[in-house]
Amino acid sequence: MTRQRGILDPGYDPDKLSIGVLHLGVGAFHRGHQAVYLDDLARQGETGWGILGVNVTAPDWTDAFAATGGRYTVLEGEGQGWSARRIGAMRGFLYRDGGETGLDLLADPALRLVTLTITEKGYCHSLGTRSLDEDGPIAGDLDQPRDPRTAIGYLVEALRRRRAAGLPGLTVASCDNIPDNGRLLAGVVLDYARRVDPALADWIADAVAFPVSMVDRIVPAVDDAARILIAAETGLDEPPGHAMGIVTETFRQWVIEDRFAGPRPPLESVGVTVTRDVTVFEHMKHRILNGAQTALAHLGHLSGFSTTAACMADPVMATFARRFMERQAAVTTEPPGESLAAYVDRSVARLTNPGIHHPLPQIGTDSAFKIGQRIGGATADLLVRGGPMDLHALMIAGWIQYVCGRGRDGRPIPVNEPGAVRFAALGALTASSPRDRALAFLALDPFPRALAADDGFVVLVEDMVRRLSARTPRAILVDLLA
């Protein structure tokens, strides 16, 4: 590997990579995570795992790709002494390709792995199920399955072509931050395929593997500050709007279920854990790291902070984050080879990283999908275990205020929350007294029933809802943490 203009070049010829992986959903996370692992493989001399990226929704990287050949910079670090590397593994990109090229590429025998980061919404499922929400965007694809517009419709049409070409199945790995992501993906793909072609559904069930995976790296959206930092560190200025470069932390982790159809990349050789049980790793991450991120997203925003690192620079919020993680860890199983105490320490350090500009509203997006997996289950477990519940009650009360879209001072909160429409329909957003509000929200499906059924906890949440109408979460925490 060589350094040119301060950049660690791949040290291989990207043009010699053949495409072995199709990735659906080329956003920040894919560029800063899976693509980096596949780039590591190419650096080891594996030439069969180049990536074809496909987006069925924005962003469109077509121009950026044409300008750079798909090469981009990943800047890794903890706020000082950044290291830069060029990624060469991305070998092609297609946008909204309902036509022949993209769909037929999945019917190429060399292609053996599909990965996805399409966000929770991309799965087109009814919340809390592994079945399609047939009234959502998937309805159009169900009418016209040969001209798909959704990622699920695209995947199934491409698999239909693969089967028609007499090719073997392949592995389709969700890398979205959803519990049991592979099972959800299998559920919606099979549900969709059964509706359009039951024989195809049978083939997919036999020939396609949907491993669960746990993915971890904090990869914020690329803003102007990130672009300017990359230019300053590397001398390469990526044009605004076409910037594929990433600024991220040094840490990364990928744990994938040992469930593959046919040949797969030798992922272990680049530090991926291939294991039979991903669940324990998922629980650790969702409850401890992501639980604290979600708690800070809502309580931090309502306290006037803008990023996770800004929260963690405040002693009150940092103490809250650590204590909240310790309580979540107390009801989490320790995965093999991990120490939960060390995981909490590492998570505190990662969230404190001043070099990572992770805006709280970005983390707070889609919270209806996230709060159950990250906080709801652990809260129910903590109620069974016994012990203080004040921080969890405050967190949930803060989430309620956030989702209702008005701060203490009446100012609107910019909520990106598709679940809010459903909550409104259920009357939760209009419940007026703190008690009604606490009861209405705790009865929503992200939360286990045990929460609304525990009167002591309802009273605690009600009390926090009331307190939040007069004070910021930070001011309340000063008392709670004393």
Provide the minimum distance between the beta carbon of 57 and ligand NAD in the complex, in angstroms, as a whole number.
Answer: 4
User: CB under 6 A: which stretch of 26-34, 336-344, 398-406, 472-480 binds ligand NAD?
Assistant: 26-34
Nearest to 307 by CA among 352, 344, 347, 252: 352
Nearer to ligand NAD by C-beta: 14 or 122?
122
Nearer to ligand NAD by C-beta: 372 or 434?
372
Residue nearest to ligand NAD as judged by C-beta position: 27
Nearest to 25 by CA among 113, 191, 150: 150
Helical spans, DSSP H, in 331-454: 340-352, 360-364, 367-371, 377-385, 390-404, 419-425, 434-442, 449-453
Asked if 117 interacts with ligand NAD (CB under 6 A), we say yes
Distance separating alpha carbons of residues 262 and 109, to the nearest angstrom: 11
User: CB under 6 A: which stretch of 51-59, 256-264, 429-437, 451-459 binds ligand NAD?
Assistant: 51-59
Write out the binding residues for ligand NAD, residues 394-433 only, by CB under 6 A. none
Q: At 474, which helix (H) or strand (E)?
A: helix 473-480
**Phi, psi at residue 329, to the nearest 5°?**
-65, -30
Nearest to 40 by CA among 64, 68, 74: 74
Distance separating alpha carbons of residues 465 and 380, to the nearest angstrom: 19
Distance separating alpha carbons of residues 93 and 90, to the nearest angstrom: 8
Provide the minimum distance between the beta carbon of 226 and ligand NAD in the complex, in angstroms, as a whole number.
Answer: 12
User: CB under 6 A: which stretch of 14-22, 23-31, 274-282, 446-454 binds ligand NAD?
Assistant: 23-31
Provide the minimum distance between the beta carbon of 188 and ligand NAD in the complex, in angstroms, as a whole number.
Answer: 12
Write out the binding residues for ligand NAD, residues 119-138 only, by CB under 6 A. 119, 121-122
Provide the minimum distance between the beta carbon of 62 and ligand NAD in the complex, in angstroms, as a whole number.
Answer: 13
Write out the binding residues for ligand NAD, residues 132-191 only, by CB under 6 A. 150-151, 176-177
Write out the binding residues for ligand NAD, residues 187-226 only, by CB under 6 A. 215, 217-219, 221
In the three-class reduction of DSSP (H, G, I as helix; E, B as strand; rest coil), residue 395 is classed as helix
Tell which phi-psi region holds residue 96, choosing left (phi > 0), alpha (psi between -120 and 50) or beta.
Answer: left
User: CB under 6 A: which stretch of 49-57, 101-109, 155-163, 376-384 binds ligand NAD?
Assistant: 49-57
Nearer to ligand NAD by C-beta: 6 or 79?
79
Nearer to ligand NAD by C-beta: 234 or 293?
293
Nearer to ligand NAD by C-beta: 29 or 320?
29
Of 28, 35, 209, 442, the one binding ligand NAD by CB under 6 A? 28
Residues 6 or more apart whose Cβ sits within 8 Å of residue 146: 157
Of 10, 14, 27, 372, the one binding ligand NAD by CB under 6 A? 27
Provide the minimum distance between the beta carbon of 101 and ligand NAD in the complex, in angstroms, as a whole number.
Answer: 18
Distance separating alpha carbons of residues 29 and 473, to the nearest angstrom: 30
Provide the minimum distance between the beta carbon of 334 and ligand NAD in the complex, in angstroms, as a whole number.
Answer: 21
- Residues written for the chain: 482
User: CB under 6 A: which stretch of 22-30, 308-316, 340-348, 380-388 binds ligand NAD?
Assistant: 22-30
In this structure, are residues 391 and 464 in contact, taking their beta carbons and an 8 Å threshold?
no
User: CB under 6 A: which stretch of 117-125, 264-272, 309-317, 332-340 binds ligand NAD?
Assistant: 117-125
Asked if 368 interacts with ligand NAD (CB under 6 A), we say no
- Provide the token pair at 10: 């791949």
Of 12, 29, 82, 320, the one binding ligand NAD by CB under 6 A? 29
Nearest to 342 by CA among 317, 365, 325, 364: 325
Helix axis angle for 291-302 and 473-480, nearest 10°, is: 120
Provide the minimum distance between the beta carbon of 450 and ligand NAD in the complex, in angstroms, as a whole number.
Answer: 27
> 72-76 and 83-87 as β-strands: parallel, antiparallel, unpaired?
antiparallel
> How big is the site for ligand NAD, counted in residues (CB under 6 A)?
23
> 3-4 and 171-174 as β-strands: parallel, antiparallel, unpaired?
unpaired
Binding site for ligand NAD (CB under 6 A): 25-30, 55-57, 117-119, 121-122, 150-151, 176-177, 215, 217-219, 221
